């Protein structure tokens, strides 16, 4: 599939934003962070900014962005509609929790309730986003058991890395908790991504020219003549392909720059912080880890689309889809 810049930005920004929101909300719900105007403005402000920027970016690839409101109408059958509903619903506890941190002195039970609701909404929205792709049977690279965990783990990894950097900057002891969570999420994302790539590389194609035509019993089906004399929209959008050597290089960038490097930086920062020295270096390492994780997520998301092929391409001579 052709990697659309708007969709890549949408999935990475919203995933990191929801991951950051869930991390801060859970820390607040369990009393590990307390209301603080600066933390509320920076932490929850950044989470909501990323979420909003991602959602707005998702409308840019629509032919008529002004009709995006119609996405809410099909929530009974469409994962895209469910995502829209979940995203808007999550704004309510998220904004209230941010307001509590910045403006009000609220009781602990209210913070706990808002935190749990915001975290649950963030997780639900990411699941709905992942299910948009997981539910597409014509694209075998997406229609598998590892798509949803991939979205959840990538959101958790980037969100927790951001939370660790922000909390470290504010000198919060909870930065170590967020950092440990970031390391665990980055490690899990590393394992999941390796498993996902192995799955799409080694699993036999769900559809072939033989199964599509029903002529497999006769022998191999080959294209006698192309249906078009030139490339068309479907071939450009659904038949996009990336060279194997380039895919392998990009995969290494994702694993090293997106997962291993950030995990190492966070672990080093926590180690320095535990020794009571180099507090500024902990912030620098945490910020670098968060930035690297986001860059790795952008490359990973580009590959997620570029390596997927639609069954339609069998009509144009592809041997598998």
Mean pLDDT by 10 residues, the chain (321 residues): 84 96 97 93 96 87 66 81 93 96 88 97 97 91 94 97 96 94 98 95 76 77 72 68 83 96 95 72 94 96 89 69 63
- State the pLDDT at residue 66: 63
Which pLDDT belongs to residue 65?
A: 64
Contact 30, 24 (CB under 8 A): no
176: Cα separation from own chain's centroid: 23
Positive or negative, the Cα torsion across 309, 314, 315, 316?
positive
pLDDT of residue 74: 78
The predicted pLDDT at position 217 comes to 78
Residue 223: per-residue pLDDT: 73
pLDDT at 4: 83
* Residue whose entry in the numeric block shows the structure tokens 């929205």: 125
Domain 5-316 architecture:
Up-down Bundle (1.20)
pLDDT the model gives residue 239: 65
pLDDT in the model for residue 265: 96
User: How many other CB atoms sit within 10 Å of the CB of residue 169?
Assistant: 20
- Supply the pLDDT for residue 25: 97
**For residues 142 and 110, what is the distance between their CA atoms, to the nearest angstrom?**
39
Structure token digits, residue 160 = 């927790």
pTM: 0.91
Delimit the domains of the chain by residue range: 5-316
């Amino acid at each position: 599939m052709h990697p659309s810049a708007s969709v890549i930005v949408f999935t990475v920004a919203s995933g990191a934003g929801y991951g950051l929101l869930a991390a801060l909300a859970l820390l607040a719900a369990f009393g590990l962070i307390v209301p603080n105007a600066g933390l509320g403005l920076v932490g929850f402000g950044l989470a909501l900014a990323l979420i909003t920027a991602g959602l707005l970016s998702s409308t840019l690839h629509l032919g008529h962005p002004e009709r995006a409101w119609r996405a809410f109408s099909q929530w009974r059958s469409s994962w895209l509609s469910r995502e829209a509903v979940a995203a808007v619903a999550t704004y309510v506890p998220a904004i209230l929790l941010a307001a509590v941190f910045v403006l009000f002195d609220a009781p602990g039970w209210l913070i706990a309730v808002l935190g749990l609701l915001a975290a649950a909404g963030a997780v639900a929205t990411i699941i709905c986003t992942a299910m948009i792709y997981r539910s597409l049977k014509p694209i075998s690279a997406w229609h598998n058991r590892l798509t949803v965990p991939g979205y959840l783990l990538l959101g958790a990894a980037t969100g927790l890395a951001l939370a660790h950097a922000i909390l470290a900057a504010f000198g919060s002891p909870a930065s170590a908790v967020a950092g440990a969570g970031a390391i665990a999420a980055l490690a899990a994302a590393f394992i999941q991504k390796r498993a996902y790539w192995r799955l799409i590389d080694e699993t036999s194609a769900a559809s072939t020219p033989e199964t599509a035509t029903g002529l497999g019993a006769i022998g191999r089906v080959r294209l006698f003549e192309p249906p078009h004399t030139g490339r068309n929209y479907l071939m450009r959008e659904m038949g996009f392909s990336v060279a194997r050597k380039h895919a392998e290089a990009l995969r290494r960038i994702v694993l090293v720059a997106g997962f291993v490097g950030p995990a190492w930086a966070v672990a080093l920062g926590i180690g320095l912080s535990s020794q009571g020295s180099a507090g500024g270096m902990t912030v620098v390492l945490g910020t670098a880890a968060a930035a690297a994780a986001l860059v790795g997520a952008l490359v990973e998301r580009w590959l997620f689309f570029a390596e997927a092929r639609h069954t339609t391409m069998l009509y144009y001579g592809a041997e598998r889809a």
